[in-house]
C-alpha cells in the first residue's frame, strides 16, 4: 500500500496562475483609475527610466509601459545612454521628484556596469513618496518594521498569489531561497508579517536539500535554472518559483525543476505565467496607491 506522502498517490499540484491573477488585477485597476479620474482625481503617472541597452531590461520596461497604457496611467519615459553617468541620472531623478504629474518613479535594474553608477545612491535619490518599486532604504526600513510603505512589486505579487489561493501562512515553515534586496529579503519579511516561520537560504547554506525539504511554503528566487530539485520538495508543499532563466535554446525555465516538483507539491507557479506577470500588476497598483495616497 502506498503511503499518504507517496507522490504516486497524490493529485498533481494545482497551478497558481499569475497570468489570470494579473489580468484580473489590471482590469480592476483600469476600472478604479477610470472611476477616480471621473471623480476628479489626477491621472496617476509613472516615470520609467532605463539606462543603456540591456535587451532583457528593454523588454521588461516595454511591458511595463504597455501595461500603463492598458490601465490608463500616464507614462513618462526616459532613456539614457550607458555613458550618461551617475550625475546625469541623479539630475533626471531630481526633476522627476518635483514633477507633479509623476507619482511613481522606476529605474530599471541592473544599471550598466560600464560607467560610474552607484545603485544604492540612485535608489536613495528617488523621493520615498514616489518609490513605485519600494526599493528606497526608508521604505525597506518601514517594511522591516512592519509599517505601511510601498512594497517591492514581485514580493507583493507573490503574497497576492498565495492569498488568492487561500493558502494559510500562520505557523507554517516558509523557506526562501535567495537573499536579494528586490525579492528574497522583502518576501521573507512579508511571510514573517503573515506569521510564517521563515528561513532564508543562500549560496553558503549547508544542506540546502534538507532545508528545502522542510518547507511548507517554498519561494525560490535565485536566478539559477532548476537549482531546486523536485525530489527535495516536501509532499503537499506550496512552491513559488520567482526565477526566470533563459536557456541556450531560447526557452524559459524557473529556479525549480517544475515537473518533478509539481508531482509532489499541492500548489505551484509555472514559469512563465506564474510570478512574472504579477510584478507589473503590482507596479501599477503601487503607482495608483502613491498617486492617491491609498
Ligand atoms: N529588475 C529586475 N526586477 C526589477 C524590478 O522589480 N524593478 C526594477 N526597477 N528593476 C528590476
Neighbours of 8 (CB within 10 A): 7
Question: Atom 4, ligand 1: which residue's CA is nearest?
Answer: 109
d(CA 9, ligand 1 centre) in Å:
40
Contact 80, 47 (CB under 8 A): no
* CA dist list (Å): 36 to 16, 43, 71, 79, 280: 30, 8, 12, 30, 21
Ligand 1 nearest-atom number relative to CA 152 = 6
**Binding site membership of 33 for ligand 1 (Cβ less than 6 Å):** no
Which atom from ligand 1 is nearest to the alpha carbon of 110?
A: 1
CB neighbours of 2 closer than 8 A, spacing ≥ 6?
8, 9
Does 133 participate in catalysis according to the annotation? Answer: yes
Mutate to test the pocket of ligand 1, among 51, 59, 60 (most ligand atoms within 8 A of CB): 60
- Write down the pLDDT at residue 146: 95
Contacts of 164 (CB under 8 A, 6+ apart): 16, 21
Q: What's the confidence (pLDDT) of residue 2?
A: 44
Main-chain phi, psi angles of 77, to 5 degrees: -105, 135
> How far is C-alpha 152 from the chain's CA centre?
6
The ligand 1 atom at the shortest distance from the C-alpha of residue 283 is 6
154 CB less than 6 Å from ligand 1?
yes
Within 10 angstroms of residue 114's Cβ, the number of other Cβ atoms is: 11
Supply the pLDDT for residue 9.
63
Given this model, what pLDDT does residue 1 score?
45
Query: Closest residue (by CA) to atom 3 of ligand 1?
Result: 109
The single residue of 17, 131, 133, 216 carrying the catalytic annotation is: 133
Is the separation of the CB atoms in 151 and 143 below 8 Å?
Answer: yes
Mutate to test the pocket of ligand 1, among 65, 108, 124, 222 (most ligand atoms within 8 A of CB): 108
Whole-number pLDDT of residue 218:
99
169 and 218 Cβ atoms separated by less than 8 Å: no
Give the cell for residue 52: 543603456
Annotation says 130 is catalytic? no
Interval between CA 92 and ligand 1 midpoint (Å): 18
- Separation of CA 49 and ligand 1 centre (Å): 11
Report the pLDDT value the prediction gives residue 11, as an integer from 0 to 100: 82
136, three cell numbers: 528606497
Whose Cα sits closest to atom 11 in ligand 1?
Answer: 109
Residue 145 falls in the annotated catalytic set: no
Residues of the chain with pLDDT under 70: 1-9
> Atom 9 of ligand 1 has which residue's CA nearest to it?
108
CA distances from 123 to 12, 43, 62, 86 (A): 42, 24, 21, 12
Q: Which domains, ranges and CATH numbers included, belong to the chain?
A: 40-127 (3.40.50.10860), 152-276 (3.40.50.720)
Spatial distance between the Cα atoms of 285 and 28, rounded to a whole number of angstroms:
10
Q: How buried is residue 159: exposed, middle or buried, by Cβ count under 10 Å (0-12/13-18/19+)?
A: buried
Contact 270, 55 (CB under 8 A): no
pLDDT score of 6 = 52
Catalytic residue among 17, 64, 130, 241: 64
Of 170, 135, 161, the closest CA to residue 149 belongs to: 135
Amino acid at each position: 500500500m502506498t503511503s499518504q506522502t507517496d507522490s504516486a498517490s497524490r493529485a498533481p499540484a494545482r497551478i497558481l496562475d499569475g497570468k489570470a491573477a494579473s489580468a484580473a488585477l489590471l482590469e480592476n485597476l483600469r476600472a478604479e483609475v477610470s472611476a477616480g479620474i471621473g471623480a476628479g482625481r489626477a491621472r496617476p503617472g509613472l516615470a520609467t527610466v532605463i539606462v543603456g541597452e540591456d535587451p532583457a531590461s528593454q523588454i521588461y520596461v516595454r511591458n511595463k509601459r504597455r501595461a500603463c497604457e492598458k490601465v490608463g496611467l500616464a507614462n513618462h519615459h526616459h532613456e539614457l545612454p550607458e555613458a550618461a553617468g551617475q550625475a546625469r541620472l541623479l539630475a533626471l531623478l531630481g526633476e522627476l521628484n518635483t514633477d507633479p504629474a509623476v507619482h511613481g518613479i522606476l529605474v530599471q535594474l541592473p544599471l550598466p556596469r560600464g560607467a560610474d553608477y552607484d545603485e544604492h545612491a540612485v535608489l536613495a535619490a528617488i523621493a520615498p513618496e514616489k518609490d513605485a518599486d519600494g526599493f528606497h532604504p526608508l521604505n525597506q526600513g518601514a517594511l522591516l518594521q512592519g509599517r505601511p510603505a510601498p512594497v517591492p512589486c514581485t514580493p507583493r505579487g507573490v503574497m497576492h498569489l498565495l492569498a488568492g489561493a487561500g493558502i494559510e501562512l500562520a505557523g507554517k515553515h516558509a523557506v526562501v531561497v535567495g537573499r536579494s534586496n528586490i525579492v528574497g529579503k522583502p518576501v521573507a519579511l512579508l511571510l514573517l508579517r503573515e506569521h510564517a516561520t521563515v528561513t532564508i537560504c543562500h549560496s553558503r547554506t549547508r544542506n540546502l536539500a534538507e532545508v528545502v525539504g522542510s518547507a511548507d511554503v517554498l519561494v525560490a528566487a535565485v536566478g539559477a535554472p532548476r537549482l531546486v530539485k523536485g525530489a527535495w520538495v516536501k509532499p503537499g508543499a506550496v512552491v513559488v518559483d520567482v526565477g526566470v532563466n533563459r536557456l541556450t535554446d531560447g526557452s524559459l525555465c524557473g529556479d525549480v525543476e517544475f515537473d518533478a516538483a509539481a508531482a509532489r507539491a499541492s500548489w505551484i507557479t509555472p514559469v512563465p505565467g506564474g510570478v512574472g506577470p504579477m510584478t507589473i500588476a503590482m507596479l501599477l497598483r503601487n503607482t495608483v496607491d502613491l498617486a492617491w495616497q491609498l
